[in-house]
Structure 1
Amino acid sequence: SINSLKAVDAIRNADAKVLGMLSIFTYSFEIAKKNFAEKDVEIFTLADYEQLIRYALKTNKITNKELELLEQWRIDPENWGSLFANK
């Protein structure tokens, strides 16, 4: 996230070394991966979006159809809602 990258910059500006970034959860968006890679920051995450939705399916919290919708959202969350406009 932007705040995490700002924290990386602040730490480095204080002449400290950033060994990596820890997170509990990530959506694994390509833009975030790119931004962290550009800052040369390795990310360590406990769980990600794919794991979450697969677990939800496995435990019958969502259906296969809902899984498909969630996978579509993950590909393009900014424009996903427009798929359903005027329906």
Structure 2
Amino acid sequence: MRSYKEFPKGDARRYFTVLVAIVDLGGDATLHYISQRVGCTRAEAQRAIETAAEQFGMDIEKAGPVYRITGWGALDKREVRKLLEV
């Protein structure tokens, strides 16, 4: 998978790297592990989560420190992953 900073600022694929990391990490999807996995800061990961939820109508829950995607809104989970596998 590609890293967060491979994409220019404002590129939605930055958000997609964070979303895929949440899915892949499952019960370990804390800001710490998400940011390590995609190569960004915790603040950048937090902003990506908030922006994706707002702009794409996603449902992202936080239970304690762990994030979980419960609804993908306007996005197709399979297609998001495909965009990053180039």
Scaled by the length of structure 2, what TM-score is found?
A: 0.27
Q: Greater relative contact order: 1 or 2 (C-alpha under 8 angstroms, separation 6 or more)?
A: 2
Scaled by the length of structure 1, what TM-score is found?
A: 0.27
